[in-house]
Amino acid sequence: MTDQPGIGPTLSSSKAPWLVVIDPQNIFAAPDSAWGSPMFPAAFANIRRLAEAAEGRVLVTRWLPTADRRTSWGDYFAAWPFADKAADDPLYDLVPEARILSAHPTLDLPTFGKWGPGLERIIGSASVVLAGVSTDCCVISTALAAADAGARVTIAADACAASTPENHAAALTVMGLYPPQLTVADTEAALAILNDAR
């Protein structure tokens, strides 16, 4: 199932923190993908732990190649032709292990950042633990938009995967410049936040 604008879950009234897992898709996880992250297996092991602690307050997102090609997205797909496929291509499927993380529909967007009305409609004003892939693209884009919106976000750094370890570190450094909206932590600290809601 997917969550489209105007369709899907409504605003949560709970203040308990949510786990938002950014784009655990084949295109970012498969070793033979041009965008596959070598860090994904280790990060996903921590994502699974966080999802268990969140007890149903888990939202999974997907990036889909449906942006208007008349915009700079057209240039982007010209630079990355392997990704210029239909949205229902298996490249854009969740990895099998991610399909059981959440009972909620996925939030599917054609943008790097996933923060916006669709996500806020689901989680309300609750704080967020952020994890997923790629640290240096969709995760940081989501986190910075969340900071502008006044959200309280903890980035579980070891539950995020990047294109390279160096780019992972660089993205974490940038996100670390945005306290108190953004806090860069690890899975153990994020588990404490999620477990406190029980």
- Among the listed residues 171, 105, 110, 164, the one whose alpha carbon sits nearest the alpha carbon of residue 137: 171
pLDDT tens string 52-88 = 999 999 999 999 999 999 999 999 999 999 999 999 9
Q: What is the mean pLDDT of residues 9-26?
A: 82
For residue 56, what are the domain limits? 2-195
* pLDDT higher than 90, residue 90: yes
Q: Are 54 and 194 in contact (CB under 8 A)?
A: yes
pLDDT of amino acid 79: 98
- Confidence band, pLDDT 50/70/90 cuts, at residue 12: low
Q: What is the mean pLDDT of residues 28-52?
A: 97
- Confidence band, pLDDT 50/70/90 cuts, at residue 15: confident
CATH number, residue 167: 3.40.50.850
Q: Are 137 and 164 in contact (CB under 8 A)?
A: no
Q: Are 37 and 77 in contact (CB under 8 A)?
A: no
Q: Please give the Cα distance from 41 to 47 (Å, whole number).
A: 10
pLDDT tens string 102-158 = 999 999 999 999 999 999 999 999 999 999 999 999 999 999 999 999 999 999 999
Structure token pair of residue 157: 């750094």
3/32: higher pLDDT: 32
Q: Please give the Cα distance from 74 to 157 (Å, whole number).
A: 31
Contacts of 32 (CB under 8 A, 6+ apart): none
Q: How many residues does the chain have?
A: 198
The total domain count for the chain is 1
* pLDDT higher than 80, residue 193: yes
pLDDT of amino acid 196: 83
Q: Please give the Cα distance from 94 to 114 (Å, whole number).
A: 16
Alpha helices in the chain, H assignment, sequence order? 26-29, 40-54, 72-79, 117-123, 140-148, 165-175, 187-195
pLDDT of amino acid 14: 64
Q: Are 111 and 1 in contact (CB under 8 A)?
A: no
* pLDDT higher than 60, residue 2: no
pLDDT of amino acid 71: 98
* pLDDT higher than 50, residue 6: no
Taking the alpha carbons at both ends of the chain, their separation in whole angstroms is 27
